[in-house]
Amino acid sequence: MNVFVGAATLAGAAIPSRPEALPAPNVRELSPAAAHPDAALIELGKQYERLLREEVPLQRRSHRLHQATEARQNEILGLAPDAERSAPRWGVEWRQWSDAWETARAETGYDKAWEAWCQAGERSRDIGRKILRIRAQTLSGLLVRSRVITTNGDLLCKREPIEQLEREVRAFALRYQA
């Protein structure tokens, strides 16, 4: 391929002499992410995945501390650590049961762990809500939406998550079938 441009070609070209005479570039067209029809969904999906990576360990920690709190509560009440969780079954007054729970919660730090998990979950669900408001144009966008439905669909969807996912896939297939 010949890269050389002849003098006649340059002489006939209309090149503005001042920079302000050049048209402003369309930043959206220059951005590689914006070229994708589901760029917004994909970007939100990346944020969602990052937030899930923060949320899951907090959820596990909260669950572990909840189990430790239950065991400590049973210990305070003089029950076996793995006793069934029912105050009336063991002849324990509700007030004793509740006081033992409050004491155990304070000792294990369960409240702080639960609160941290709830806050992380709310951040990921906020992004999930944004994702579910955007209609997928491509399979990549549909995968982002399906990830939200399968991880938080029970809290974010009006239907059962599996029904919502099936509905999404069917609608997507029908749109692009024709």
> pLDDT of 111-150, one tens digit each?
999 999 999 999 999 999 999 999 899 999 999 999 999 8
**Residue 14 covered by a domain:** no
Q: How many domains does the chain have?
A: 1
**Residue 71 covered by a domain:** yes
Flag residues of the chain having pLDDT under 70. 1-34, 83-91, 178
**Residue 31 covered by a domain:** no
pLDDT recorded at residue 13: 39
**Residue 99 covered by a domain:** yes
Q: What is the pTM of this model?
A: 0.69
CA 167 to chain CA mean position, Å: 20
**Residue 27 covered by a domain:** no
Q: Which long-range contacts (CB under 8 A, 24 or more apart) does 131-139 make?
A: 131/41, 131/44, 131/45, 131/48, 132/156, 132/157, 134/38, 134/40, 134/41, 134/44, 136/38, 136/41, 136/168, 136/172, 137/37, 137/38, 138/36, 138/37, 138/38, 139/172
Share of the chain above pLDDT 70, in %: 74
Domain of 52 in residue numbering reads as 38-177
pLDDT recorded at residue 88: 55
**Residue 3 covered by a domain:** no
**Residue 7 covered by a domain:** no
**Residue 115 covered by a domain:** yes
Q: Where are the alpha helices (DSSP H) in 21-109?
A: 27-30, 39-77, 94-108
pLDDT recorded at residue 9: 38
